[in-house]
Amino acid sequence: QKEVEQNSGPLSVPEGAIASLNCTYSDRGSQSFFWYRQYSGKSPELIMSIYSNGDKEDGRFTAQLNKASQYVSLLIRDSQPSDSATYLCAVNPLDSSYKLIFGSGTRLLVRP
Amino acid sequence: DTAVSQTPKYLVTQMGNDKSIKCEQNLGHDTMYWYKQDSKKFLKIMFSYNNKELIINETVPNRFSPKSPDKAHLNLHINSLELGDSAVYFCASSLGTANTGELFFGEGSRLTVL
């Protein structure tokens, strides 16, 4: 299986700070990239998708994609304690439109 | 109304037993999935179905038998359960293919094999 790698964390930031989450992927042909958030004991939910190089902003969230470096990141501005969760990077590989490959997630802890 | 619902939420069983998990989505989506999440939170694709047809079987042992009676339902039957099958199993659905749309996940079914 093609790989998606993330630092497991935990990444601890104070409330109001910027949290930066990173992800690398091995399939150079991948075209679609996603960030999911998973609260403890809950199911994953989509927070951002990105398809082309550069930045995409949605509220406090910014996704960044660099296909040449095979790198995706998620920035969370003005982090809140409610942002404390595991963030899963997901990639659609070139060989199939019918699956997402997930990383093992980075646990984010926002300290009040 | 729950969009993707799975039953049961918890299963505890002995090695060697057989168990089933049911999944239903009321979103009108064409594609459904089974994912397995292990204790390290790694979420791994098992099966994908599109309009009741199997699209992906991600080298899952044949003890696992998915069945899709219609595009709104995708069930999972597991024979001869092993300790390593202990995990949370998530059902998900998407309107189209995974590369263009959001996956909506069910609440998960936690399977514990003793």
The alpha carbon of residue B28 is apart from the nearest alpha carbon of chain A, in Å, by 17
> pLDDT tens-digit profile of A47-92?
999 999 999 999 999 999 999 999 999 999 999 999 999 999 999 9
Q: Report chain A residues whose CB lies below 8 A from the CB of B9.
A: none
Could you tell me the maximum CA-CA distance found in chain A, to the nearest angstrom?
A: 43
Q: What does the mean pLDDT of chain B come to? A: 94
Task: List, in sequence order, every residue forming a beta bridge with A50; answer none if it has no partner.
Answer: A33
The alpha carbon of residue B46 is apart from the nearest alpha carbon of chain A, in Å, by 9
8 A C-beta contact, residue A99 and residue A82: no
Q: Report chain B residues whose CB lies below 8 A from the CB of A101.
A: 45
Give the phi and the psi of residue A99 in degrees, each rounded to 5: -155, 155
Name the residue with higher pLDDT: A94 or B34: B34
Both tokens assigned to B48: 């994908």
The alpha carbon of residue B79 is apart from the nearest alpha carbon of chain A, in Å, by 24
CA B41 to chain centre: 16
Report CB contact under 8 Å: A99, B41: no
> pLDDT tens-digit profile of B50-92?
999 999 999 889 999 999 999 999 999 999 999 999 999 999 9
DSSP letter for B84, please.
G
Compute the half-sphere exposure of residue B41: CA atoms within 13 Å on the CB side of its CA: 24
Q: CA-to-CA distance for B90 and B5, rounded, in angstroms?
A: 10
